[in-house]
Every structure is written in C-alpha cells, then in structure tokens.
Amino acid sequence: MIHDRYGAVNESETSGVANGNRVNEAVSLENDFPVVCVGGSAGGLDAYIRLLQNLPANLGVAIVIVNHITKMPTMLHEVLPTYTTMPVELITESLQMKPNRVFIIPANRDLHVTDGQFHLKPISKPHGWPDVITVFLRSLTEHWDGKLIAVIVSGYDGDGADALCGIKEVGGITIAQKLDTAIQPDMPETAIASGCIDFVLSPENIAQKLVRIARNEVL
C-alpha cells in the first residue's frame, strides 16, 4: 500500500502503481536480449561480411551496424542479406528493436534508442568526421537494460572510442577488430588506445565470441 503525504492510504494510487509496474516489467522482459553495436566505416563492409557469415541466425541478439556514411545513401541493407539468413532492415523512425535481426543505420542520421525503439535525428556533427557510433553507444548505455556489446571494426578516425568506457561501466563488453585483419585500422586502433577494450579479435573470432556471450558461456 502507498500512503499519501499525510499518511492516508491511497488505494487508487496503489492500483495504478501496481499496473504501471506490470507494464514496466513486461517492457523490461521484452527488451531483455543482447544488443551488438558494430561500428565501422572505410573497409567496414569486409568486416561486416566476415562477421555475419559466421553468426548463427537464431543467436537471440540484435545486430546494429552503425556505419558512418555521410556522402551518399547506404546500400548495406541490400548487400548484406547475401551473407546472412537473418532479416536485414534499414532503420526507420520508431522501428522496434528485435533479436535475430540485423539493423542498418541510414546515412546522415544520429541513432538513439528508447523503450526498445529506434529514433533518428539529424546528424549532430555534419562536418568533419561524424560521431554517430559514439552517439548510439551512449544512448544504449542510458536506455537499454539488456546485455550490451560494442564492436569496433575497420574505419577511419576514432568514432566510438569515447563511449567504450561507458559501455564497460554498465557491465557491457567491448571488442575491437585485430589491426592486421582490418582494411583501415585507424578506428579499432583508437578504440584499443582508449584502454577500454576487452578483446582484440579477427571478424571470424568476434563472431565466435558473440556466440559465447549470447549463450552465457565462460569467456
């Protein structure tokens, strides 16, 4: 029972809170699956393909590929279905995040998540190197209750590195692509230099690690 500020029992409020708690619990259970953010840019396609080719379709995780393209529309949602049996979707406003799917960020947009839904905003850094990976990772740390895995693969600059320590602070796991397997090692190198990377692996071994994480196996 809930007492009002004068000590009287407010049964309608008690009922409302109980109903609200049930709704919140249902939403929490619905969103209790791992989310894997794979961030990359130049040379990222090679890493995405090698990763997806080695992931089972029923792993129970959502894969969100955040490729920081600003000059032209992304084609990843058309290219990647060749390499995975998971559905590959271009993210649209309010799209529900679900496991066993691959989601692709559209070009020139920042990506956020609230209550298990994607939200798109105009890119906050339209000039110079974008920080869309950092923006999305920070949104996940604030608004996602399930497991978080951040994967940084081939690309220029260092997008994503500034959010990696935050991922670890909320109990998430961070992975960088092994430098000699990356077409453009700048991005994973910057991630490693942050001091907040748990594993440095090839795309194929990243896939193996994700399987173990999803199945709660000892790492």
Q: Is 202 a catalytic residue?
A: no
Please list, residue by residue across 91-121, b when 16 or more beta carbons sit within 10 angstroms of its beta carbon and e when fewer do. Answer: beeebebebbbbbbbbbbbbbbbeebebbbe
The one catalytic residue in 68, 139, 154, 194 is 68
Tokens of 163: 């959010």
Pairing type for strands 62-67 and 88-90 reads unpaired
- Number of CB atoms found within 10 A of residue 43's CB: 19
Active site residue 143: no
**Coil/strand/helix, residue 36:** strand
Catalytic residue among 110, 131, 159, 162: 159
Closest by CA to 200, choosing from 168, 182, 177, is 177
Helix (H) or strand (E) segment spanning residue 177: strand 173-177
Half-sphere exposure (CA, 13 Å, Cβ side) for 78?
Answer: 4
Q: Residue 99 corresponds to which amino acid?
A: P
68 is catalytic: yes
The catalytic site residues sit at 41, 68, 159
